Amino acid sequence: MKTIIILILSFSITAAYAQSPYEKMITERVAELDTARTSRTLQRLANDFERIALADEKNWLAHYYTAYSYVRLAYSIKGDQIDVYCNQAETYLKTAEKLQPKNSEILALYAYLYGAKVNVSPMLRGASMGKKSAGYTDLAIEADPENPRPYLIRAMGIYHTPRAFGGGAEKAVPYLEKALGKYKTFTPASKNAPRWGKAYAEQLLRESLKK
């Protein structure tokens, strides 16, 4: 009898574990994402998230983080290759959106993604992709006004727009302050839910105030 109880117990423990390796791996990799800087690390993380997304197809966070890693990669390089990473990010983000429609985080990531696409050729794409990005920022705020990330993305867009076109560091400040205010009160919906950006917002604010 005792052995049977142990047997059942050990089974159920294995079963409980069998569900969580995905979540466990996401938690570990998300922690790495915060400090990842090189494109090599980002690519490795993108691959790890991609494997989870492919194995656990209904896990929107796995798709979300795969897309997020690729967007970060897109910001880490120059030229035509930006589009390659963005298109890859877009496919995963679309799947995430199907699993979680109207999710503020997903909409904000779209805004971040189209912001990266502007960098391929700011002269040619500033107008079209910039607008697309702004449109998604609005949608993300509408879906969850307490989400700090759309404000950060808007601030980044303004920060990198030349002054002559109505951008510049000073104009980004109010949005950065707003984003940081939201970061203070923001609590992620779940353990692995998106929470990135705070440190970057702080850094950008410091740089903006210096100018």
Partner 1 sequence: MLVICIFPYGAYAQAVIKGKVTDRSATPLSGVNVFIKGTIDGTSTGENGEFLLKTHITGDTVLVFRYVTMEEILLPVHIGEEMKALTVKMREKQNQLGEVVISAGNFDVGDKTRATVMNTMDVETTAGADGDIMGALRTLPGTQQIGESGQLFVRGGSGDETKIMMDGLDIPNPFFAGVPDVAQRNRFSPHLFKGIVFNTGAYSAQYGGALSSVLALETKDHPSKPSTVVALIPYGGQVGHDFLGKGVSGGFDVGYSNFGPYYKIISQNVDWLKAPESGMITGNFRKDTRGNGMIKGYVYGNLLHQAIHYPDVEQQGKPFPYRVKNANAISLLTYTRDLSETWKMYVGYGLNFNKDDIEHRNIPVETTSLQHQLRTTFSGPVTTWARLNTGIEGFYRQITTDSLQTPEFRDNEAALWLETDLYVGRDLIIRPGIRAEYDEAIRRSVFLPRLSMAYRAGRYGQMNLSAGEYAQKPHYLFLAENPGLHFTQATHYMANYQYGHQKRIFRAEAYYKNYRQLLTTIPAPGNNGNGYAGGVDIFWRDARSVRGFDYWVSYTWLQTERQFMNYPVRATPTFASPHTAHFVVKYFFERIGLFTGGSYTVAAGRPYYNPNNPEFLADRTPVYHNLNFNVALLRRWGKTFNTFVLAINNLAGNEQIFNYRYSSDGSYRMPVTLPYQRSFMLGWFISIGQDRSGEILEQLP
User: Binding string, 80-109, against partner 1, x = CB under 8 A?
Assistant: x--xxx--x---------------------
Question: How many helices and strands (H and E) does the chain possess?
Answer: 9, 0
Determine, following the binding rule CB under 8 A, whether residue 76 of this chain makes contact with partner 1.
no
Determine, following the binding rule CB under 8 A, whether residue 8 of this chain makes contact with partner 1.
no
d(CA 198, CA 149): 9
Determine, following the binding rule CB under 8 A, whether residue 113 of this chain makes contact with partner 1.
no
Determine, following the binding rule CB under 8 A, whether residue 171 of this chain makes contact with partner 1.
no
Which of 16, 166, 184, 190 forms a contact with partner 1 (CB under 8 A)? Answer: 166
Which of 137, 131, 52, 135 minimizes the C-alpha distance to 95?
Answer: 52
Return the number of the residue (59 or 147) whose C-beta is nearest partner 1. 59
Q: How far is CA 22 from the centre of its chain?
A: 18
Return the number of the residue (155 or 180) whose C-beta is nearest partner 1. 155
Residues in contact with partner 1, total (CB under 8 A)?
A: 40
Beta carbons within 10 angstroms of residue 206's beta carbon: 10
Which of 13, 40, 98, 191 forms a contact with partner 1 (CB under 8 A)? Answer: 40
d(CA 92, CA 90): 5
